[in-house]
Amino acid sequence: MAATRYRRFLKLCEEWPVEETKRQRDLGVFLRQRVAQAFREGENTQIADPETCDRMYESLVRIHTNYYKNKYPRLKDTNFTGVTVEDCKMILATDILKQMEDMKKGTWKKLREKFYAKKPEEDSK
């Protein structure tokens, strides 16, 4: 029975898309890592709680197939701010978040990082 569960999770991992714009924050990558950890021995892995494993699988399938999005359709594809899904994806991209983080830095901090070879954290030690 563990072999069947393992194959189902592998199939789900294959189908789950990976978003290249969300490096190190992508749900597809995280899912693959967790499946690799949970099934270290592959099909021979002993599952301590099969019911929980099955519930987790079914929940992931519902997320992957947009079950609730289809069950409860929305009138508009925007949120309360009026931002579209495409705009949200662009804003949440890792590169954009990095740029926003850099913009938050103060002028003195930017100058210190630019002119000092070591990081400001090392100065306080």
107-118 pLDDT per residue, tens: 777 677 777 765
CA 9 and chain centroid, separation = 17
Phi/psi at 105 (5° precision): -65, 145
- Residue 119's pLDDT is 52
> Per-residue pLDDT averaged across 39-50, rounded?
87
- Pick 77 or 27 by higher pLDDT: 27
- Over residues 10-42, the pLDDT tens digits come to 999 999 988 777 777 788 889 999 999 999 888
Categorise residue 122: left if φ over 0, alpha if ψ from -120 to 50, beta otherwise: alpha
- Pick 68 or 120 by higher pLDDT: 68
Coil, strand, or helix at residue 123? helix
Give the Cα separation of 50 and 35 in Å (integer). Answer: 14
Phi/psi at 84 (5° precision): -80, 170
- For residue 36, give the nearest of 6, 4, 2, 63 by alpha carbon: 6
Give the Cα separation of 61 and 9 in Å (integer). Answer: 10
Give the Cα separation of 43 and 23 in Å (integer). Answer: 29
